[in-house]
Structure 1
Amino acid sequence: MSSVSSTDAAASRERRRTMNQITDSFREMAVVMTVLNLRAGEQVGLRDVELKALDVLMRDGAMSAKALGQRLGMHPATMTGILDKLEKSGWVTRERSPEDRRVVLIQPVRERVGEIVRLFAGMNVMANGLLDRYDAKDLETIAEFMGTMVNMAKEASEEWGA
């Protein structure tokens, strides 16, 4: 009987170690991705938050400054300054919404955004190579896990306020 409980205890310790390894990896990934983004930004003269704004616009499409600011957790005045710089340096344009002329939409300039896409091409190739090692079921599990982690981070951020 004691061998079962010692086996259970060993399995529990191993599970905790693995869980700690995963959470430590997430934390390290955040650091490494910050460094990668800083270095990429240096190549094109953008700060990390400016790259993030462009990334959101590239993935989600045009949106208002208010919506973009909310997405990034930025104060409206700060967002205005970021957008002014991005517009002045040719990364975004401001255009009236065809549906509601009172709304100004922020559009990424596709030709310029290609510069950023090229900077991350190597990382994307490596990521796709890694994902190719997994079968469809594993990929579904990974996608679910990552989606859940993103949602948890959003919730935690919202608890702190904007």
Structure 2
Amino acid sequence: MNDTDAVAREQAVTDFMRAGRESSRLSVMFRHAAAARLGLTVTDMECLDFLMDTGAATAGQLAEQTNLTTGAITSMIRRLERAGYVTAERDPADRRRVIVTLVPQRIEDGTRLYASYGTAINEVLSRHSTEEIRLLARHYEEMSDVYRAQLATLGSDESPVAEDAPSR
């Protein structure tokens, strides 16, 4: 790689990192606004999103997906039940487990809230080739792997902490 290519690559990486941070920041803000509109927390929304992919899950699986304690998951499930988004029933095969299932009719409220977002995303994707969309999907999958690894590191005692970080 010549110097011109190295400089161009360094700038491209810098631009990518900046765009990624901005996209992440805006995604967090959007999720908070959408959750507030539905009277939910962002974690509630993430739980519902996971259930939209799986249809149903045990409380333990939800705890793993959201990184919440079993007590916090129990509170969230009760909150989502009261709001009508999920049902929670004992697993007939193992009465100690609770199976949480989406209530499809209630999920339609969230679907309507996200409709304009979906339309805007489809407009963006319409300007890209199938191969470019596959690249973007692969990028998201690879970034998800990075996030999972970083979450595991942050959850371990091996996570580095800045010495000058303020204590709380």
* Counterpart among 60, 69, 89 of residue 66 in structure 1: 60
TM-score (norm 1): 0.88
Q: 1:134 corresponds to which residue?
A: 128
SS in 1 for 2:27: helix
Paired letter, 1:146: Y
Paired letter, 2:123: G
Q: 2:100 corresponds to which residue?
A: 106
Q: 1:10 corresponds to which residue?
A: 4
Identity, % of aligned positions: 23
Distance 2:67 2:115 in 1: 27
Paired letter, 2:112: R
Taking CA–CA contacts closer than 8 Å with sequence separation of 6 or more, which of the two structures ends up with the larger relative contact order? 1
1:51 equivalent to 2:12? Answer: no
* Counterpart among 7, 13, 18 of residue 19 in structure 1: 13
1:156 equivalent to 2:150? Answer: yes
Distance 2:134 2:44 in 1: 31
**Unaligned residue ranges in structure 2 (runs of 5+):** 157-168
Q: 2:138 corresponds to which residue?
A: 144
Residue 96 of structure 1 and its aligned partner are, at CA, apart by: 3.2
Residue 97 of structure 1 and its aligned partner are, at CA, apart by: 3.3
SS in 2 for 1:63: strand
Q: 2:162 corresponds to which residue?
A: none
Paired letter, 1:76: T
Deviations for 1:40-88, whole angstroms, at most 9, x for unmatched residues?
Answer: 1121111111111111111222000110110111111111111111111
> RMSD of aligned C-alpha atoms?
1.6
Q: 1:89 corresponds to which residue?
A: 83
* Counterpart among 125, 147, 162 of residue 119 in structure 2: 125
Residue 95 of structure 1 and its aligned partner are, at CA, apart by: 2.0
TM-score (norm 2): 0.85
Distance 1:143 1:33 in 2: 17
| 1:70-81 map, 5 Å | 70-81=64-75
Paired letter, 2:118: N
Residue 32 of structure 1 and its aligned partner are, at CA, apart by: 0.6
**Number of aligned residue pairs:** 155
